[in-house]
Chain A
Amino acid sequence: MNAIEVRELHKSYRRRLRSAKVAVDGLDLEVPTGGVFGFLGPNGSGKTTTIRCLLGLVRPSAGECSVLGAPTPNDFSEVVGRVGSIVETPTFFAGFSGKRNLDLLAQIGGVSRSNVDAVLERVGLGEAADDRVRTYSLGMKQRLGLAAVLLKDPELLVLDEPANGLDPAGLKEVRDLLRSLADEGRTVFLSSHLLNEVQMICDSVAILAHGRCIAQGPVQEVLHVRGGNAFVVRAPKVRDAKSALAKAGFPSTFRGDQSLRVIGAPASAGAITKALADAHIYLTELRPEEISLEAVFLELTGEEQ
């Protein structure tokens, strides 16, 4: 069973004196149980609206969503105790301390209040637990949001930009935390703009643009769809190397660091080596080009636009 399933989801918002704004336009999504699932897309692509539909905050205009097998929004209450979520910036009562906020949430959700201290310690807010939320930095509020999520001991975590406002050390802590949660068998559904972070911790991703899913699958698969057909070649005479490779049928372009980007199938590494050796050019480096998620994301979303 998938942790999250979305079929033909449409959501449009009515606007005064203007045509309706389409936020999600026929989205299909399957999030497998277990692991970290990255949910990517540029601003306004429909990520947060999709998350709000999943959590029953917004009613879809058309289509179906289910979370842990329960159709939302109608039956979301059946599984809400197993789903922890942060939607955009976590919000709490500013006049209450972090601990009191979590205490109230625990009481609302029927969760044991004895876990409050433990989750605050786990996200690094133990010392600031009794401070008013008003005095918290954005990063501390994010940590408090994560603590609220962990309070339920959830099977599924739906996190919308949980790393916003965190410093590098905080980013690493959150990354390690999410990875450890996934390793415990939980499903982490992570919407983020920090593509390097996503690439580091996600097992699968979906990329949205204009309310539609334009790529979905395990991270390596998504990267290979767009990458894996180029090499980085470094040699002493880079201009000569370029012309030798061109004669052998391998088009290339200069990179900034005295190396070449050579287009060729993964199996053509030997042929490239031979072509250069035949021209008495002996390469110092040959490696498959690594495609970053960021590059794929920009390429895909750029195409869409």
Chain B
Amino acid sequence: MIFAEFRRLVSRRSFRLVAAFCVFGVLLGGVILFFQSSHDPNSGLKQAQAMVAECHAQVNAPNALRKGPGGPSLLIGGPCPTVADVLPGFDKRFRYAESIPSATRNIALPLFLLAFAVAASFVGAEWGTGMMTTTLTWEPRRGRVLLAKVIPAFVVLGTAVAVILAFLAVVYFPIGVFRGTTAGMTGAFWQHLSGLWLRAGLLAVFGAALGVGLATLARNTVAALGIGFGYVAIFDPILSHLWKARFAPWLLMQNFMRAMRLPVETVVRQSAFGRLTTEKILSSTRPAILLTIYGLALLAAAYYTFRSRDVT
């Protein structure tokens, strides 16, 4: 039965559309980035020079910024910067080793939401069409039926997200070579990047758990999506802003963001006597545990409901 559900999931139009959309998005982004970036380290030199010249022009202009009796030294922000200072800001080189991990972290959230939506649609469609009745007349053991949906959703969506992120890294590599720099691509970089893919994949699995769980509880795709996106767009932001200190560590989105950070985070603390100490904390362990508990709790509730409710 699990294999049948695997086949069904990958044959679904929604899954294929989302996958195609992601691949297209990565390719389009690559093309745009390719034309916007430059291999020349001095590609932004003219813009940097223009900025510095404009600053000097403003300082030297009659009556410009002379607000007090002290004269021109009252410039807010100090004297004008040099070209060397501002040049990095205009550098058009694509810095592969810096940009890819950052892009991976940023893309993980949309991919998590897509994994949630595809999983919700995967289960919700079966309820919506009434196909669940047919399925249960072929396999009446409901635990097996639910498990046969959970496993393919986890494996397919988790893998798909990791593969899309790996695809992003592959597609953008030539941009780093021809229109930027690949400096910094050490073994540690690849270890870090593959860790991010793994984490994004696991977060997609969590998204799939939420999608399957909510669609099983609601017996409907639209309701599951409404609850999910309503939480992300309304409930989570309101709660985290109203009771930030108390509830934020328990909310989904903050834990999601923390789970995508580096595994080890260095925090500088000041003691009561003014002594500074550095402390390394594991930033992703607690969110990972919390999200796992949330996912399992939702699936347990879905299973209990699915098992006990009539299918009419």
What residues of chain A have their CB less than 8 Å away from a CB belonging to chain B?
13, 52, 55-59, 73, 76-77, 80, 83, 85, 87-96, 100, 104-105, 107-109, 148
Contacts and interface: CB of A to CB of B under 8 A. Distances in A.
Contacts of B125: 93
B241 interface: no
User: Which secondary structure characterizes the binding site on chain B?
Assistant: helix
Q: Determine which residue in B7, B12, B135, B312 has the highest number of CB atoms from chain A within 10 A of its CB, and name it.
A: B312
A85 B137 contact: yes
B131 interface: yes
A265 B311 CA distance: 50
A62 to B, nearest CB: 15
Contacts of B3: 107
Interface string B1-12: 101100110011
B134 A91 contact: yes
Nearest to B308: A59
B311 A104 contact: no
A88 B4 CA distance: 24
Given A92-B129, A107-B3, 16 more contacts: A52-B310, A55-B137, A56-B140, A57-B310, A58-B310, A77-B139, A80-B139, A87-B133, A87-B137, A91-B131, A93-B131, A95-B13, A107-B1, A108-B1, A108-B4, A108-B148
Contact of A59 (B11, B12, B129, B310): B310
Contacts of A104: 4, 7-8
Given A55-B137, A80-B138, A96 B129 contact: no
B136 A109 contact: no
A13 B311 CA distance: 12
Q: Determine which residue in B1, B11, B310 has the highest number of CB atoms from chain A within 10 A of its CB, and name it.
A: B310
Contacts of A91: 129-131, 133-134
Contact of B138 (A59, A89, A109): A109
Interface of B: 1, 3-4, 7-8, 11-13, 125-126, 129-131, 133-141, 148, 310-312
Nearest to B142: A56
Contacts of B13: 95
A83 B136 CA distance: 12
A210 to B, nearest CB: 19
A242 B12 CA distance: 72
Given A87-B133, A148-B134, A93 B140 contact: no
A263 to B, nearest CB: 46
Contacts of A94: 129
Closest 6 CB pairs of A and B: A91-B130, A107-B4, A58-B310, A57-B311, A109-B138, A56-B140
A105 B135 CA distance: 7
13 contacts: A52-B310, A52-B312, A56-B136, A57-B310, A59-B310, A80-B139, A83-B137, A88-B133, A91-B130, A104-B4, A105-B134, A108-B4, A148-B134
Contacts of B126: 93
A89 B133 CA distance: 11
B11 A108 contact: no
Nearest to B125: A93
Contacts of B8: 93, 104
A189 to B, nearest CB: 13
Contacts of A89: 130
A58 B7 contact: no
A107 B8 CA distance: 11
A296 B135 CA distance: 37
